Amino acid sequence: MTQLTSPVAQLLSVGPQHPTAGLDGYPAHDWFAPARSVVIAPASGRIVKLSGHDPAAGLVDGPHGPFGWSLYLRDDTGTTWYLTHLGTRSTRLNVLVHRGQSVGTVALWPRNVTPPHIHMGVASPGA
C-alpha cells in the first residue's frame, strides 16, 4: 500500500479513512489544517489533472458536496494522488513538483459545514 504523507504544512489532525464521492481512491483521509495555510505536494511528480471550482462560489450539491479546487499528481512510481478542497492552486498542468513544495492553500469552508481540510487519496489507475 502507498504510504500517506501529510499534504498540509500546518497539520492539526487526520480524519479516518473514508470513501470519496465520484472517485475510487484509497486510502483517502481528511487532513485538517487552518484555512489559507499551505498545501504541499505529498510526493515528487507531475501535475496530470486539474479540476474543481472556485470555492468563493460556495458549496455544490449540499453541505458536504464538492468544494474548491482539485489537483492530481502522478509520482515517480506511477501512483496518482488527488488533493481536493484547495482554496488556491499555485501550480499548472504538466508542471513537475517536488515533495514538500507548495501547490496551493487550504480553502475556507462556509461556516458550520466542515472544518478546513484537504481531502487526499490515491486515485484509481488511469485517473
* pLDDT (tens digit per residue) in 100-115: 999 999 999 877 678 9
Q: What percent of the chain has pLDDT over 90?
A: 54
Domain positions in the chain are: 13-122
CA-based nearest residue to 51, from 42, 60, 43: 60
The CATH superfamily of 13-122 is Glucose Permease (Domain IIA) (2.70.70.10)
Of the pLDDT bands very low, low, confident and very high (cuts 50, 70, 90), residue 21 is low
Q: d(Cα 127, Cα 124) in Å, to the nearest integer?
A: 6
99 C-beta neighbours (distance < 10 Å), count: 14
Above 60 in pLDDT, residue 127?
A: no
Residues in the chain: 127
CA geometry: angle 114, 119, 120, nearest 5 deg: 170
Cell triple for residue 74?
502522478
- Note the pLDDT of residue 47: 97
Q: Is 12 left (phi over 0), alpha (psi -120 to 50) or beta?
A: alpha
Stretch among 11-20, 29-38, 62-71 having the lowest mean pLDDT: 62-71
Which pLDDT band, with edges at 50, 70 and 90, does 5 fall under?
confident
pTM: 0.85
**Stronger pLDDT, 23 or 78, i.e. the higher one:** 78
pLDDT confidence of residue 1: 42
Say which residue, 30 or 5, is predicted with more confidence: 30
Q: pLDDT tens across 22-31, in order?
A: 666 666 889 9
